[in-house]
Amino acid sequence: MDYHINHLKELESESIFIMREVASQFEKPVLMFSGGKDSILMVHLAYKAFYPAKIPFPLLHVDTGHNFDETIEYRDNLVKKMGATLIVGSVQEAIDNGEATEEKGVNASRNALQTGVLLNSLEKGKFTAALGGARRDEEKARAKERFFSHRDEFGQWDPKNQRPELWNLFNGKHKMGEHFRIFPISNWTELDVWQYLAMEKVELPSLYYAHRRKVFERDGVLLADSPFIPKKEGETVFEEMVRCRTIGDITCTGVWRSEATTTEQIIEEVATTRMTERGGRTDDKRSESSMEDRKKLGYF
């Protein structure tokens, strides 16, 4: 008898194992929820890991205030469906309180401000583990990330001093004030995520499917027309069939020309595409090591 499971079921089993390990090893975990497909996948896997019990940790959304409307609507529906608890860390509130300062200029983004709000939210909730949907195939600094990633009392990542991870053995021991970032879907690629979501028939926010939207072009990237992004001289708004490959803050999430209106068409598109999904993220383009620098400071 030949026992084997396909690569998606094996990834699913691995992620479920990690989530149960977190629930066992940590007193107070929290799941970082951005509204993007990877965090939707995370919630889906967490649901399976603990069924028929409820997910034993709350969801944390760091809200920049500059969202696509569809994201918030989807988030609230999902939370209701899962019976989960939602915590919102607000960047707008941090700005109003004077804890954060808004960037100026046409490329202004609240992306960097998320780090402080995230760290504050983790501290306030006394969370000892924050589960995130980052994948190693996304970006070169993330290729070196562990499943269990240790953060010091300042929330910083030290890439040169990471704990080795062997077999199925994960060491989540930490001192007071330190915490862990946990990445259960580390081994998934963008294509795996789509294939799995198709196989599981998971419903996603409409933004991921091709739709007509008002957009404009900046530095070779299409951005959604929004009152949160002031336009430069000569930038004109036009309508286009587009979809998002990642969903983040509206000010730095590029949209792509696409005709893919179903998950199967998206899989086809992802399998043959010539650009990485973060190719549309202007936050990564700031310098060659911008992700590495942000991660060291405690960015998600």
Partner 1 sequence: MSKEYENSELLRFTTAGSVDDGKSTLIGRLLYDSKSIHQDQYEAVEAASQRRGEEGVNLALLTDGLRSEREQGITIDVAYRYFSTPKRKFIIADTPGHIQYTRNMVTGASTANVALVLIDARNGVVEQTKRHAIIASLLQIPHVVVCVNKMDLVDYSQEAYDKIQESFEKFAAKMDVKDVHFIPISALNGDNVVHRSDKTKWYEGPTLMYYLENVHIASDHNFIDARFPVQYVVRPYNDDFHDFRGYAGRVAGGVMKKGDKVTLLPSGFSTKIAKIHGPDGEQEEAFPPQSVNVELEEDFDLSRGDMIVRENNQPDITQDVELMLCWFRSDKALQLNGKYTIQHTTQTARCVVKEIRYKLDIETLHRDTENSEIKMNDIARVVLRTTKPLFVDSYRKNRITGSVILVDEATNNTVAAGMII
Instruction: Report the interface residues with partner 1, using CB under 8 A.
Output: 1-14, 16-17, 20-21, 23-24, 48-54, 136-137, 140-141, 143-144, 159-160, 162-169, 171, 173-175, 186-187, 189, 191-192, 195, 199, 267, 273-276, 279, 288-289, 292
Closest to partner 1 by CB, 18 vs 247, is 18
Question: Please, what is the minimum distance in Å from the beta carbon of residue 32 to partner 1?
Answer: 21
Closest to partner 1 by CB, 220 vs 234, is 220
Question: Please, what is the minimum distance in Å from the beta carbon of residue 14 to partner 1?
Answer: 7
First-to-last CA distance in the chain?
A: 44
Question: Which phi-psi region, left, alpha or beta, contains residue 35 (left: φ > 0; alpha: ψ -120 to 50)?
Answer: left
Question: Please, what is the minimum distance in Å from the beta carbon of residue 260 to partner 1?
Answer: 16
Q: Three-class SS of residue 113? A: helix
The gap from C-alpha 107 to its chain's centroid, in whole angstroms, comes to 21
Question: Please, what is the minimum distance in Å from the beta carbon of residue 254 to partner 1?
Answer: 12
Question: Please, what is the minimum distance in Å from the beta carbon of residue 90 to partner 1?
Answer: 32
Phi and psi torsions of 48, nearest 5° = -70, -35
CA atoms within 13 A on the CB side of 290: 11
Closest to partner 1 by CB, 190 vs 249, is 190
Closest to partner 1 by CB, 6 vs 77, is 6
Closest to partner 1 by CB, 192 vs 249, is 192
Handedness of CA 255, 259, 262, 267 (dihedral sign): negative
Taking the C-alpha atoms of residue 297 and residue 34, their distance in angstroms, rounded to an integer, is: 19
Closest to partner 1 by CB, 67 vs 195, is 195
Of the candidates 45, 36, 224, 64, the residue with the CA atom closest to the CA atom of residue 134: 36
Q: What is the 3-state composition of the chain as percent helix, strand, coil, each rounded to the nearest 5?
A: 35, 15, 45
Question: Please, what is the minimum distance in Å from the beta carbon of residue 176 to partner 1?
Answer: 12
- Please give the radius of gyration of the chain, using alpha carbons only, rounded to the nearest integer: 19
Closest to partner 1 by CB, 203 vs 268, is 268
Taking the C-alpha atoms of residue 211 and residue 295, their distance in angstroms, rounded to an integer, is: 33
Question: Please, what is the minimum distance in Å from the beta carbon of residue 268 to partner 1?
Answer: 11
Q: Three-class SS of residue 166? A: strand
